[in-house]
Amino acid sequence: MKKGSLRFQLLVLFSTMTAVLIGITSSVSYLQLRSVANEVSISTMNNYLIQTLNSLDIFLGDVENTAKNIIATEEVQKALREIKNTSGLEALTRYRSLQNTYQLYTNTRTYIQKVYLLNTDHLFLDRDYYNDNTLIHSAWFDSLNIEAEAHSFSTLHGITYPVKAMVFTYQHPIYSTAYPRELIGWVMMDIDATLLDNVFIQDLPFDGGQLQLYNSNGVSMYKQQDDARYTLPSDILQKLAAFGQNARMEYQGEMLLSAVSKISNWQLVMTVPMTVLMRGVSTYLPPLLLASLLTIAIFIAAASLCIHHAFRPLMNVMEAMDAVSAGDFSIQLPLCGQTETRSLIAGFNSMVAHICQLIDKVSLEERRKKDMEMQALRAQVSPHFLYNTLNSIRYLARVERSADVQTAISALIHLLQASFERTKFITIAREMQLVRDYIKIQKLRYDLPLEVVEDMDQQAMNCLIPGFTIQPIVENSLFHGIVPNQGGSITVTVRVRDTFIEISIEDNGVGIPPEKVAQLLHDTEDNPKFFTSIGIANVDARIRYFTMDMLKLDHLSSAQGLMIESTVGKGSCVKMRIPMIKAEVREDESSESTGS
């Protein structure tokens, strides 16, 4: 198989298309598998995240319920509503009473390190913080957002009493039971941060994963691994928060999943490397690639056999085409192969036969063309016309009309000179001079009112047309229209239209019957009464040949010939449209066109 052959190109094309399609199919399959595995992994991560967040909310919800129980007691309400002093025996008594109240609810909750109250004057009513106003200026206290009059959680901070530990503080506003809209203070509870370790003690479902907990201000509350690279920037946390519950996104090669606590509004984020998620999918990639390569190889082998079988008849056609190009038009191929190939072979056989017919037809038309040209040269002057013209001149000389004799002889000389010339084309100016000379003679022969009107476009006067093109049409108009009508007029119009010249010869004679119009275009017999003996069909054929040669047309029928319009009793009009070909004006032609 040659490298540049059509079979080779088709094989390469089909192989490439197959490789591309199989590659696309394999890629889509792999992507779908990866997507499914990714969704399964994300679903597993999300379930773990929700379970962990629910465990956290259970602890925080218990903290909230404990605070609600404490603030509803009479001791707490009375301490915040009625007692103003924070020192002395009364304060000590109140402190002990409040401690007993706290212990009723916190003895079973070991993660609550300390409970204390803050009134609306921002004074602590508990002995632990007695007269300690510096506490309210600390960062963790500011993070409670007490002025919002809603429960909140602080950031992590350290305490030394009753034990040294890291805690986060929960605060809940306290309203008067007597006047529900009156805010009388806040209850605060220090929660041991080890509580979070108990919530997140369960192992992650993926190696390399990490759980992180952030409060509503984006401050880290918990990380399973104390590594700075696992700390997420605030803008990423904001994007996750904007996505709402169960949000997810990719960040620096890791998958991030986020869920928000309904109680604390904290954001729990799980991070897992994408390579860990896709680790199971990568095991399917080598078998998938091997299967794709085997499929491509099998298809290429099958396509090669099919193309060879399908192209055998086409190779026969190519060999036959080489034979035809060498001049053998007798070849005919047997029908074989598939339906399309049989149609191609049948079309080839038909084409060869048609070429043979065209060659024969072109040869015949060339012979006819030469015959018509020879006929026009041999039969341009009718002896009968010469006889009548000379007879008219003798009559004019006898009656001593010397001026008319000179005019008739001069016109006859011009006509005879043009008929004896061997040139095939003349200018329109020369042709119109022949028309004038011919009309001069006919006016002397016939005592009839005859007028010839010339409407000429001067741009066309120097253009070439076949010799004796307009004169025979004028001659036919005279004898078939004007003479039977006992007089009339003939109008010759010449116009330039783009690259063509439009010529029309119109008379107001007796007209031509419709059946006669068709005969004129096929009648080639000589009429002994006329000057040139050239019929309408002869002029039509020469115009077609001229047009075909100038426009390089492939066939004679493609060239437009004469168009005849006639109405009986009103006259006839013959039109022709030929290519515009300029010619150099010779001095003798110029003098003839401007003469008599």
Q: For the segment 174-216, what is each residue's pLDDT rounded down to a tens digit?
A: 998 888 888 988 999 999 988 888 887 667 777 777 888 998 8
Average pLDDT over residues 493-510: 94
320 — pLDDT class (breaks 50, 70, 90): confident
pLDDT score of 432: 93
- Domain boundaries 379-594, corresponding CATH code: 3.30.565.10
377 — pLDDT class (breaks 50, 70, 90): very low
Q: Which CATH class is domain 72-197?
A: alpha beta
379 — pLDDT class (breaks 50, 70, 90): very low
Q: For the segment 420-432, what is each residue's pLDDT rounded down to a tens digit?
A: 666 678 899 999 9
Rounded to two decimals, what is the model's pTM?
0.46
Average pLDDT over residues 457-486: 89
Question: What are the start-end ranges of the H helices in 72-179?
Answer: 74-81, 88-106, 139-142
pLDDT score of 495: 95
DSSP 73: S
Q: For the segment 281-297, what is each residue's pLDDT rounded down to a tens digit?
A: 666 667 777 877 788 78
Compute how many other C-beta atoms are within 10 angstroms of the C-beta atom of residue 1: 10
Mean pLDDT, the chain, integer:
79
Q: Which residues belong to CATH 3.30.565.10 in the chain?
A: 379-594
Q: For the segment 114-153, what is each residue's pLDDT rounded down to a tens digit?
A: 998 888 877 787 766 544 555 666 888 888 888 767 899 9
Report the distance separating Cα 427 and Cα 593, nearest Å.
10
280 compared with 508, residue with greater pLDDT:
508
Burial profile 93-131: b = 16 or more Cβ within 10 angstroms, e = fewer: ebbebbbebbeebbeebebbbbbbbbbeeebbbbbebee
521 — pLDDT class (breaks 50, 70, 90): confident
Average pLDDT over residues 99-106: 88
Q: For the segment 300-319, what is each residue's pLDDT rounded down to a tens digit?
A: 777 777 766 666 677 777 77
- Backbone φ and ψ for 158, nearest 5 degrees, come out as -100, 150
- DSSP string computed for 254-279: EEEEEEE-TTT--EEEEEEEHHHHTT
Q: Which residues belong to CATH 3.30.450.20 in the chain?
A: 72-197
Q: Is 335 in contact with 342 (CB distance < 8 Å)?
A: yes
Report the distance separating Cα 571 and Cα 568, nearest Å.
6
